[in-house]
């Protein structure tokens, strides 16, 4: 009867581990969403709140791929720079309209502060801060536009928690069902 306390302990550990990972499912690391209604007018509620692109700003490390997801009902562009400067699109540009439900990705290779906006709706502005630098860099990296939703990514902590959950469930099953030990 020693296995009952151990079985309960492993079952509890498995439950805690699974609940710890559950919030990460469905989320995508380093994703920027375009607010619904953002393209409607320069007076859209997100303009004053500066969250037509959310989160804004987004802080990442060099080498991070950022995904912009169009959750609005109209198409948008994502273009580096500001509507009022002469450097628009020199670092990255979606190239094509990003249709509702579609995404655009860009990998930020260098530290710096990157302003961006939608060329169709110039009141939609955002910023990606890469590393601790505060100057804009102009070295382009790779980018892609896709009609598919972004693939969820899990951080190292979530991966460890998931591994503990799986191991706990296997041990629990072995203890409660008498599965032979290998």
* 9 and 32 together in one domain: no
Q: Read off the tokens for 111.
A: 């530290």
Domain count, the chain: 2
**121 annotated binding-site participant:** yes
pLDDT tens per residue across all 182 residues of the chain: 455 555 555 555 555 444 444 444 443 569 999 988 888 887 778 888 888 999 999 999 999 999 999 999 999 999 999 999 888 899 999 999 999 999 999 999 999 999 999 999 999 999 999 996 444 433 344 444 444 333 344 445 555 656 676 677 667 666 767 665 66
**52 annotated binding-site participant:** no
**118 annotated binding-site participant:** yes
First vs last C-alpha separation in the chain: 21
* 34 and 3 together in one domain: no
Answering whether pTM is above 0.75, one says no
* 15 and 55 together in one domain: no
* 87 and 110 together in one domain: yes
Q: Which domain holds residue 171?
A: 1-26+156-182
Alpha-carbon span 168 to 162, nearest angstrom: 10
């Amino acid at each position: 009867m020693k296995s009952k306390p151990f079985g309960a302990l492993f079952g509890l550990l498995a439950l805690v581990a699974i609940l710890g990972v559950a919030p990460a499912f469905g989320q995508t690391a380093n994703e920027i969403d375009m607010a619904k209604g953002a393209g409607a007018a320069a007076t859209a509620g997100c303009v004053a709140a500066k969250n037509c692109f959310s989160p804004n700003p987004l802080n990442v490390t060099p080498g991070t791929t950022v995904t912009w997801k169009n959750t609005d009902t109209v198409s948008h562009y994502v273009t580096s720079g500001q509507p009022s400067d002469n450097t628009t699109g020199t670092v990255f540009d979606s190239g094509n309209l990003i249709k509702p439900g579609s995404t655009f990705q860009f990998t930020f290779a260098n530290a710096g502060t990157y302003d961006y906006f939608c060329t169709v709706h110039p009141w939609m502005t955002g910023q990606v801060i890469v590393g601790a630098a505060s100057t804009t860099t102009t070295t382009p990296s790779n980018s892609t536009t896709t009609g598919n939703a972004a693939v969820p990514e899990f951080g190292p902590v979530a991966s460890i928690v998931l591994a503990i959950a799986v191991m706990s469930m296997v041990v629990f099953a072995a203890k409660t069902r008498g599965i032979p030990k290998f």
